[in-house]
Amino acid sequence: MFVISLDFELFWGVRDHRTIENYGDNILGSHKAVLGMLELFCKYDVHVTWSTVGLLFHDSISSIIGSLPEKIPSYTNTTYSPYPFIQKLTENSYYEPYILALDLINKISKSPNQEIGTHTYSHYYCLEAGQTNETFNYDIAKAIEVASKLGIPIKSIVFPRNQINKSYFDVLVQNGIIAYRGNADSWIYKPQAKSNETILKKIFRFADTYFPLSGYNSSDLNNIESVPIINIPASRFLRPYNVKLKSLEKYKVKRIKKEMSLAAKDNKLYHLWWHPHNFGVNTKQNLAQLEEILIYFKELQKRYNMKSYTMEEFATLFYEPTK
């Protein structure tokens, strides 16, 4: 089985550690990149989940300001909260392409075999000090509310920064969400607060992109966690094309194809993910690498009957409603 999930967030996902000045090209470029990805997914009949930050569903800054959750997180590190940034916004069209994406969401929802899931409403950090079960519940409820206005049911979630907090699973179940993207089974991918991040882990994760330091990651279908919510573990982050490391790019794609092949042969799950803004620069090269991967998927489909699923489609194979 082959699953792709995308963390669709634009500036909301990088706001606390990037600026429009130093990362704006990636954000603006992601609008074109999204259309390029949709074209490839349609061409190769690939099912994809777009885990989307709820704030992107608005069509104006005034709409955002008028649709805040009743209760918001009080992070100890206040830079993690987008709400002070929101309160400073005015009706300035300069910011809109960085923080709004209703037109793209409509295109995605109308494209075949594309699921829109949630990346929480506010890019909510579930392992950072100061947030609570209550404020998370308000956040998820708001994400579902803005999606429902477009007739989009939310059935899956990707936790921002992969900060999976199992104590919040009951909130997800109560809100009708049946699946989440888990982390790969390696110490370098263990969910944690940003304050616990280490340089060593970052180095290992970076090197693991090109060389099998964590092994060949896929998931045994017989061991999928399904209670109280389906865990669809990640296999590999598709790191964006790096001009400075051009000589290593072939190893990155080769590693992904090797993992896909082993998963297909052994009847396992392979789950690939990235952010659309990763393709915002060097878009041509990134889309070319994606197409190479999708072509290889079609080969595996013919050879081993490998199938493509959204997160919701995958989850329905394992999900049993609570009686």
Rounded to an integer, what distance in angstroms lies between the CA atom of residue 184 and that of residue 237? 10
Cβ–Cβ < 8 Å for 247, 255:
no
Instruction: Give the rounded distance of the alpha carbon of 61 from its chain centre.
Output: 24
Measured over the CA atoms of residue 134, residue 49, residue 61 and residue 193, the dihedral's sign is positive
Q: Which residues contact 227 (CB under 8 A, 6 or more apart)?
A: none
Residue that wins the pLDDT comparison between 188 and 38: 38
Q: Which residues contact 279 (CB under 8 A, 6 or more apart)?
A: 29, 30, 33, 36, 37, 240, 286, 287, 290
Rounded to an integer, what distance in angstroms lies between the CA atom of residue 246 and that of residue 257? 18
Mean pLDDT of 237-243: 96
How far does the chain reach from its first CA to its final CA, in angstroms?
Answer: 28
Rounded to an integer, what distance in angstroms lies between the CA atom of residue 1 and that of residue 114? 16
Mean pLDDT of 142-156: 97
| Per-residue pLDDT tens digits for 180-233 | 999 988 878 887 888 778 888 889 999 999 998 888 999 999 999 988 999 999
Q: Does the pLDDT value for residue 320 go beyond 70?
A: no
Domain ranges of the chain: 2-316
Which of 123, 175, 125 minimizes the C-alpha distance to 145? 175
Architecture of domain 2-316: Alpha-Beta Barrel (3.20)
Rounded to an integer, what distance in angstroms lies between the CA atom of residue 176 and that of residue 138? 14
270 DSSP β-pair partners: 2
Tokens matching residue 257: 């194809």
What are phi and psi for residue 78, nearest 5 degrees? -65, -15
Q: Alpha carbon of 276 to those of 114, 165, 220: distances in Å?
A: 14, 24, 28
Cβ–Cβ < 8 Å for 236, 256:
yes
- The pLDDT confidence band at residue 316, using thresholds 50, 70 and 90, is very high
- The pLDDT confidence band at residue 323, using thresholds 50, 70 and 90, is very low
| Per-residue pLDDT tens digits for 41-93 | 999 999 999 999 999 999 999 999 999 999 999 999 999 999 999 988 887 77
Residue that wins the pLDDT comparison between 212 and 241: 241
